[in-house]
Each structure stands twice: as C-alpha cells, then as structure tokens.
C-alpha cells in the first residue's frame, strides 16, 4: 500500500506524537519478538533505556520528526541483539509508538 498524505496532515500527526511523548520520554530497546501492537505488554528482553530531551524538533515541514539529544544508557540493562523499540513518556506509563530495529543493512524504523 502506498498511501500519501498532505504535508499539513503529516506535520499535525508528527507534532501530536511529539506532544504525547513529552519531555524526558524514554526510548526502550528490546530483543525478541515485537508485540502485535503498541497496546500489548512488552515482550523480549529490555536491553537499554535511553532518555530523550525534548523528544523531537517540531515537524515544520514534511511530517518528519527529528530527535533532539538522547542521553546514552551508561549501564545497559543486558546484552543481546536489538530487534524492536518502544517510545514511552517519562513516567513509562504511556506508550507513544513501537518500531522495528535493524542492526545492519537498514530498513528498520530505528
């Protein structure tokens, strides 16, 4: 499917995602199988949790979110191969989005 949307719609959608994440959002990186949807409980093993600053620059054009500074996880939780991620608010209580991680070769969401 190759849906396209007007730039204004894409920008609004991107800014809504940024607002839902809020400042200090957490980027959690997991190994294992990604859940069926972002409402499902996380599966796999939590490998790292990184803190986002003000998570995204405003989507001025093109509906593209650009991450601002992300603080590295100075003591990664466990080792393993990253396969998926979940972005949650700073309290860890509101899921913003899930995505695939591609370690080599590109093509993933992260």
The 10s digit of each residue's pLDDT in 85-96 is 999 998 999 999
93 contacts 78 by C-beta, under 8 angstroms: no
Q: Where are the domains of the chain?
A: 7-36+49-100
CA quadruple 84, 12, 59, 105: dihedral, nearest 10? 30
- Say whether pTM exceeds 0.85: no
How many Å is the maximal CA-CA distance in the chain?
A: 42
The CB density around residue 25, as the number of other CB atoms within 10 Å, is: 26
The CA distances from residue 22 to 9, 34, 36, 96, 103, in Å, are 20, 23, 24, 10, 27
Each residue of 45-98: pLDDT tens digit?
999 999 987 767 766 667 777 778 888 777 777 888 999 999 999 899 999 999
Spatial distance between the Cα atoms of 4 and 7, rounded to a whole number of angstroms = 9
CA quadruple 19, 23, 24, 28: dihedral, nearest 10? 20
């Amino acid at each position: 499917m190759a849906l396209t949307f007007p730039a204004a719609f894409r920008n609004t959608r991107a800014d809504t995602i940024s607002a839902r994440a809020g400042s200090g959002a957490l980027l959690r990186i997991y190994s294992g199988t990604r859940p069926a949807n972002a409402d499902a409980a996380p599966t796999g093993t939590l490998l790292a949790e990184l803190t986002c600053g003000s998570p995204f620059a405003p989507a001025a054009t093109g509906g593209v979110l650009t991450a601002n500074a992300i603080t590295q996880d100075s003591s990664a939780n466990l080792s393993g191969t990253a396969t998926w991620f979940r972005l949650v608010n700073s309290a860890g209580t509101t899921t913003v989005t899930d995505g695939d991680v591609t370690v080599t070769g590109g093509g993933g969401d992260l």
